[in-house]
Structure 1
Amino acid sequence: MAGQKTDERDVLLGRRIAEHRKRSKLTQRAVADSFGMSAAQLQKYEKGVNQISAIHLAILSRLTNTPVSDFLDGIPHPDPMMERGFCESGQQAYSAEPWSDLARAFAKQCVETFTESQRRELSAAVEALSRELKS
């Protein structure tokens, strides 16, 4: 997330990332390899020098068997007055098109991050989920 300023929230999140990685007995190298980056870059995330992407946080969540919410719970919101999100009124439900945009963005990130074997496994999991939701 180049160019983004970091703050104490990134430092707190970084500490949690390091704690969960160590608790799962994973090295920085192993996690960095799964992200497709250097261990030095992962170290920057863990120190709060750089902001971690949501995709990388999701991958780390899977690697450590830790819900993403465990990384984020209790991290203060930058503006305490903004409790409802980014709009003053309630947010509308997603339509099919925003989900398609999300799926395209996620697929692009998967192609750039995962091996072909990992992508096949993910695809099979999504198909299984789709079948379960239809039954």
Structure 2
Amino acid sequence: MRRNMLGMSQERLGESLGITFQQIQKYEKGTNRVGASRLQAIASILEVPPAFFFENAPTQDAGPGGGLSEDSSMTSVMEFCSSQEGIQLNRAFVKITDPKVRRRIVDLVKSLSADDLDQ
């Protein structure tokens, strides 16, 4: 998501790391694990702390059998933020500097989504 927010291609990130874009695809899909030093390098290139990649991560379930649990609403939020619409919306929204305008946009979106629930 961060790479997309910056408008960076998988190829460009791969070149910065000295690896192929296919390897970046595997990291992003979760096919291959990312080592600590590689994660540090990716964080540096994407200008975020390594902890960024663990925010809202699945947590250990305290119930019997353990396992990982993830809030389904957070999953849908992350999927939206990774979509083209989500990226475009986020890029445009962060360019709005007036906090009052930002608040009004949030209120507008909330009111529109509430209308959809009533139908």
Q: TM-score range by the shorter chain?
A: 0.3 to 0.5
Larger Rg: 2
Q: Taking structure 1 as the reference length, what is the TM-score of the superposition?
A: 0.42
Which one scores higher on RCO, CA 8 angstroms, separation ≥ 6? Answer: 1
Q: Taking structure 2 as the reference length, what is the TM-score of the superposition?
A: 0.47
